[in-house]
Each structure stands twice: as structure tokens, then as C-alpha cells.
Amino acid sequence: MAANASTSTGGRKGPAAAARTAGTGKSIDLTALVANKGTAPTVPAQQEQHHRADATARFALLEQIAPNPLNTRTIDLNSESIQEIAASIRLHGQLEPCAVVSRMAFVAKFPEFRETVGEAAYVQVSGGRRRAAVTVLERDGHLEEAGLDITVKNDLAASRDIFVAATAAENLDRRNYDPIEEARAVAHVVREAGKQEAAAERLGRSPGWVTQRLNLLKLEEPLQLAIAAGDVPLREARRLHTLSAQEQLAVLDELRAGARSGDRAFAPDEPAATTQTPEGTEPASRQPEPQTSNGPKLRATRVAAAIQRLGGTPSKIAESLLGELPKDSVEQLIDELRSRLPRE
């Protein structure tokens, strides 16, 4: 029996899990411990060594990993996306480890969360949806013990703003946030970094992009909910924060009714396009709107004409836009295009 215990590889199922060193996912040689009569390193000493220098991926039970208390995202265990991740993990296993920091490193920077994280060995930084998926698999009886492959990265807890930025970065880069979740995450980074410019640097974004996300939090709650649900396009909401609460709600009613489907009053912050007239160059927004009942077809025709004026090919269009738009507007355009691409 002792030989079997000493050769256990620390698999994720079965009684061998009891022989793991807490927080490391590695098996303990019980025979060696008995032979050495307690002279082997204690579990806390092993944990501390791993926390400081060992970034090797390992397996840990969920009870050993505290959820990230600074994650601003709400995750629905029954959502379609979580079910898809759960199905993938069940079929292929967890393909990418989650980043964590040691409890000691986290509490040193966030002492106000000492009781929240409890006595867990680690605090999760990234992988909230993977955690939710594993929770679902355990709930549905597909796992005997719920756990995650993790990598300890205590450098992410070097400062409060670094940790908060790292918490937001994965979801921002993978577009896992809706616009309002994104705005809340950005606001959290700004609070910790002290200035919007510093937050922008931490997130690898422009100051203008940060400002636009913060402006979404100035909107009335019904409008925020509509944006989060996708009922109101982000491009329609970027300037609504300048309106009064009553005006915002009135616009929301109009948008929902479709009355503003072709209105450019709340378009992205960018210079107005121009057209040549006999009198000179004049903003296109000031040109008279032809009266027609065939609105969608007219707008499609105008788009095609604008594409031709910009050069007709992607490279020429990019060259034209880079020559006319400021950097922030170009970055906004890239964000908008990426958000509209169908996911494979």
C-alpha cells in the first residue's frame, strides 16, 4: 500500500488526491516522510518556495484558489459561453493554465481583502470563465474534484495597479467584456493608477479610448443596461453622456423604436467627412438629405460611393483614413471593425 501511495502522480480523480501537498498539486512521498521521521521540509515551506520562484504549471483544487475579488465581471454559470467552455474542457482538458498569485503576495497589496480570500493558497488573476466551466462540470457530475491548472505569477502583484490591469487585460484583449463591463474594468484601473494616462499605458490603449469607456459610466442605468445587452450600438452612445438624464432616456426610447437608425448625431468622435462643392469643401453632414422612402438602399449606395472615394481597396482606404483621421479615431475604428467580425 505504501508503495502505491509513493508512486502516485497526483491524478485529478481518486483517493490519491489526499496525498497532495496543499496548494502545489504535487504528490508527497509518504514512505520518505516516515523514513526521515519528520525531517523533510514542511508543507508551508514548500508552498513558500513555490510562491517565490516556481512558475511551473501545476494543478490545484478550486478550494485552494480564491476567486479574484477585483474582477468586475459577472459570470452566469448557465450562459451559452460557459457551457461551451465546459464542453471543451471535458473533451480536451484545460488547454491553458490560469494565472494566479500567492495569497501572501496578494494580501500584501490588498489587505482589505484578507478575509475575502480566506486561507486559500492562491488568488486567481485570470481564467474566471474557465473556473466557472469547471464548477459546472463538477455540479453536473463530470468531475470528482474540481480544480484548475495554474501558473503562479507573483510579479502580477508587484503593485495594485499592475494587478488590476492584469485582471482586466485578458478580457479586454479577448473581447470577453461587454462595453459596460469594459468601462467598469477601465475605471478600476484608473482608480489604482491615479491618472487616465497611466491607466492607458498599463492597458496598452490610448488615453482617448480610456476616456470614451469612462464616459459610458456617466450614462443612466437603463441606457447602460441596453448597451450591455447590445440593444443600443456603442457608436450611438459615445456622446450621450453630455445629455441630461431625461434626454438620455428619451434618446433610448427613440433608439429602441428605430427612429434613430439612420441618425448620425451620435456617431463616433471623428472629423466629419467632406465633399467637394462649387463653393469649396464643406462637411458632408451639412449636405441636404434627399427625400426618399428607400432609406436603407440610399445609405448602402452612399457607403459604396464613400468606399470608392477613399480608394476602393483596403490598402488605399487605410492610407486615406490614416491621412485624415487622428490616431485615436483610427484606433476606435479598428476596435469597431474587430467587434463586428463574426467569431470563428
Report the C-alpha gap between 312 and 139 in whole angstroms. 54
Strand, coil or helix: 251: helix
Task: Please give the domain boundaries of the chain with CATH numbers for all domains.
Answer: 53-157 (3.90.1530), 313-344 (no CATH)
Predicted pLDDT of residue 274:
39
Contact (CB, 8 A) for 149 and 94? yes
Give the DSSP per-residue string, 55-89. ---EEEEGGGEE--TT------TTSHHHHHHHHHH
Q: Please report, as a single letter, which amino acid is at residue 60.
A: A
Low-confidence ranges of the chain (pLDDT < 50): 1-28, 30-53, 259-301, 344
> Which DSSP category does 20 fall into?
B
Contact (CB, 8 A) for 72 and 128? no
CA 237 and chain centroid, separation: 20
Predicted pLDDT of residue 61:
95
Predicted pLDDT of residue 293:
41
Report the C-alpha gap between 58 and 150 in whole angstroms. 5
CA atoms 190, 195, 198, 204: torsion sign: positive
CA neighbor of 36 nearest in space, from 6, 66, 77 = 6
Neighbouring C-beta atoms of residue 174, cutoff 10 Å: 10
Strand 147-152 relative to strand 98-102, pairing: parallel
Q: Which helix (H) or strand (E) holds 276?
A: strand 274-277
Contact (CB, 8 A) for 101 and 167? no
CA neighbor of 212 nearest in space, from 151, 284, 131, 268 = 268
CA neighbor of 149 nearest in space, from 6, 25, 280 = 25
Predicted pLDDT of residue 75:
82
Maximal C-alpha separation, the chain: 97
Our CA angle for 277, 278, 284, nearest 5°, is: 15
Contact (CB, 8 A) for 164 and 189? yes
Predicted pLDDT of residue 156:
94
Q: What is the pTM of this model?
A: 0.53
Predicted pLDDT of residue 272:
37
